[in-house]
Amino acid sequence: MPFLQYKYHTPHPTFLLEHSSPLSLNPTPFSSGFSAHSLSFRHFTYRYFHILFPTKLSVEPLAQHLQVVVHWCLKEEMVESDTKLPFSMDSDPPFEETYKTLFENSIEESKINRANQILITCEECELPLIDIGRLSMGELEREECKKEIARASQEWGFFQVINHGVSSEILEDMRSKQMQVFKQPFRLKTNHQYLNLSAGCYRWGTPTATCLSQLSWSEAFHIPLMDISSSGGLPTTLSSTMGQFAATVSDLAQRLVEILAEEMGHKSTFFKEKCLPSTCYIRMNRYPPCPTSQIFGLMPHTDSDFLTILHQDQVGGLQLVKDGRWIAVKPNPEALIINIGDLFQAWSNGVYKSVQHRVVTNQKVERFSTAYFLCPSYDAVIESCVEPLLYRKFSFREFRQQVQEDVQKLGYKVGLPRFLV
């Protein structure tokens, strides 16, 4: 039973919310033309979550229709408080409207594969945590650290690093600016001139999805490093913050791939020559609260790059495959997550593993993350550095085209198996 009662007033397109419970809530008028508002709740403790009201609310006598996302208050106990709850009416992508058919057909879908739901908590299977500050210490510490990096890349394909050189101030500032960007109205984010970035940099959902289990409940900005210096718009300091983040994680990525190459006996200049700022990019991700657990925040996949560096908030949701089972990654506020991409698996002839990972949704809390992708130029040729070859040589362009073709035809990425000898 809702604690809010709705009354509609004319002649202006406004409506009034009144509290119908014994709790004290001052009536608050809203204008339908605003993109965001806030309610002031007083004298009680509350819990709240986003709820999407039935698609249309009739406003009499104007018969105007509104679709409103509100914070629903649940009575807890009478205590003294004074808190504002901001909410946005139009910043979320229109998932339910756009993918309405998938929601209607979901009743006929079978339950998600049981194997897909097997979870082991990180307390049971810890992701390797490596202090790479030891790379600046004596030879013994340095060599042991390198071996740990190589071992984690072989056995897990994922590991965490601390003392990585990216300051907590940069990471926190990045998250703050990222949240500001995503809170802008959806119609603004879809405008390719927003932030003065390349057309198509803003993406959401899964256009090729044919069922809910193929839908990614997320939105993201894919930003080439070359675009960062020219990014403007809102917020005004985003370019500076992203520039600092990109510079530090780019250096970290190059250090890590050089170590991994050396551990295989190769002091290759390939990565410095082929993985340039003009070919790498950053992706800012947001995973809104989702009404059903049938939907992934990000579908199971492997990364189509050499190496990925991820900074995530403390909400959690990242999961990966280890020994044929899905495990959850417990967020570590001091760590960055590193994972091997498809190209590195091919280059290393299968020594380093690019493993499947995914993001599960949260019904109450939004999640933010920022990822850096170390990619080569499209013309770069990927060829295994040892024999006998597991994969034939291919260009990054060919690999990308094959991935896109498979996604269009099959609804999912096949990846490296297409390039086996």
User: What element of type H or E holds 346?
Assistant: helix 342-347
Token pair belonging to 402 = 């094959």
Span between the terminal Cα atoms of the chain, in Å: 62
Which alpha helices (DSSP H) does 263-340 contain, by range? 270-274
Q: 138: burial class by Cβ within 10 Å (0-12, 13-18, 19+)?
A: exposed
Concatenate the DSSP letters of all residues of 242-266 into one string: HHHHHHHHHHHHHHHHHHHHHTTT-
β partners of residue 223: 282
Longest CA–CA span in the chain (Å) reads: 79
What Å distances lie between residue 376 and 132, 224, 381, 390, CA to CA? 25, 12, 9, 20
Closest listed residue to residue 376, CA positions, set 407, 343, 414, 406: 343
Q: For residues 257 and 347, is the Cβ–Cβ distance under 8 A?
A: no
Verify whether residue 367 is a known catalytic residue.
Answer: yes
β partners of residue 394: 382
From 367, 392, 397, 400, the catalytic residue: 367
CA distance 151 to 131: 14
CA distance 405 to 399: 10
Residues annotated as catalytic are 367
